[in-house]
């Protein structure tokens, strides 16, 4: 009897140590759903959704504080992907957060730039290169087109231009359903 009790105590201690080690070794640092939502979002960090960045918006979606239709840069594609991931109904883009636009790129007119660095401070992805009282330029590969650099510029030397369609920027458009078929697919309440 004492042998059985000591054997069970030894097994309990062994499994407790094993579980303790496993909890430290395989600890998940964040919510995997937040990571999946963040991967779907366009990573513009523009704040048009009402949150300071895409990660904060993803966390708000998981906590139920935000809806899936608040990201104008992601547009309908991200709304459909989020609805599929979260297993909910897709919604039209919320117009109070903006409208879906073609991807844009900031361009600085270097002849009128005074080097105030206000645009550098406003850029959430550090896509503007320059120094105080020197001309600035935009790193095109880094610019997300968030338009946050336009408002602080005192001389209005920053313009947004649409990115021309090329092999590396073109995306296949999703097929549109005919209106009669689309109406028949809507759920009846």
DSSP state, residue 174 = P
- To the question of whether residue 46 is assigned a binding role by annotation, the answer is yes
- To the question of whether residue 146 is assigned a binding role by annotation, the answer is yes
Residue 159's beta-bridge partner residues?
Answer: 107
Residue 107's beta-bridge partner residues?
Answer: 159
70 in Cβ contact with 97 (< 8 Å) = yes
- To the question of whether residue 157 is assigned a binding role by annotation, the answer is no
- To the question of whether residue 153 is assigned a binding role by annotation, the answer is yes
Handedness of CA 137, 140, 145, 146 (dihedral sign): negative
- To the question of whether residue 134 is assigned a binding role by annotation, the answer is no
Residue 158's beta-bridge partner residues?
Answer: 108
- To the question of whether residue 71 is assigned a binding role by annotation, the answer is yes
108 in Cβ contact with 137 (< 8 Å) = yes
- To the question of whether residue 88 is assigned a binding role by annotation, the answer is no
DSSP state, residue 175 = P
CA-CA distance, 113 to 129, in Å (whole number)?
A: 12
Give Cα 94 to chain centroid, integer Å: 16
CA-CA distance, 161 to 106, in Å (whole number)?
A: 6
Half-sphere exposure of 37 (CA within 13 A, CB side): 26
Annotated binding site: 46, 49, 54, 71, 113, 116, 119, 123, 143, 146, 149, 153
Residues tagged in the binding site annotation for [4Fe-4S] cluster = 46, 49, 54, 71, 113, 116, 119, 123, 143, 146, 149, 153
């Amino acid at each position: 009897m004492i042998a059985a009790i000591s054997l069970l105590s030894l097994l309990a201690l062994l499994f407790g140590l094993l579980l303790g080690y496993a909890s430290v070794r395989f600890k998940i640092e964040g919510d995997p759903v937040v990571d999946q939502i963040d991967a779907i979002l366009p990573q513009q960090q523009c704040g048009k959704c009402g949150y300071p960045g895409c990660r904060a918006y993803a966390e708000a979606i998981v906590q139920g504080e935000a809806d899936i239709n608040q990201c104008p840069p992601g547009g309908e594609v991200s709304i459909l992907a989020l609805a599929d991931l979260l297993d909910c109904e897709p919604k039209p883009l919320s117009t109070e957060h903006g409208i879906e636009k073609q991807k844009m790129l900031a361009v600085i007119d270097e002849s009128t730039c005074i080097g105030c660095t206000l645009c550098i401070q406003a850029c959430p992805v550090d896509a503007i290169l320059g120094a105080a009282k020197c001309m600035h330029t935009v790193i095109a590969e880094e610019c997300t087109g968030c338009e946050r650099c336009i408002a602080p510029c005192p001389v209005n030397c920053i313009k947004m231009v649409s990115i021309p369609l090329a092999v590396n920027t073109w995306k296949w458009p999703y097929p549109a359903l005919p209106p009669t078929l689309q109406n028949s697919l809507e759920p009846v309440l």
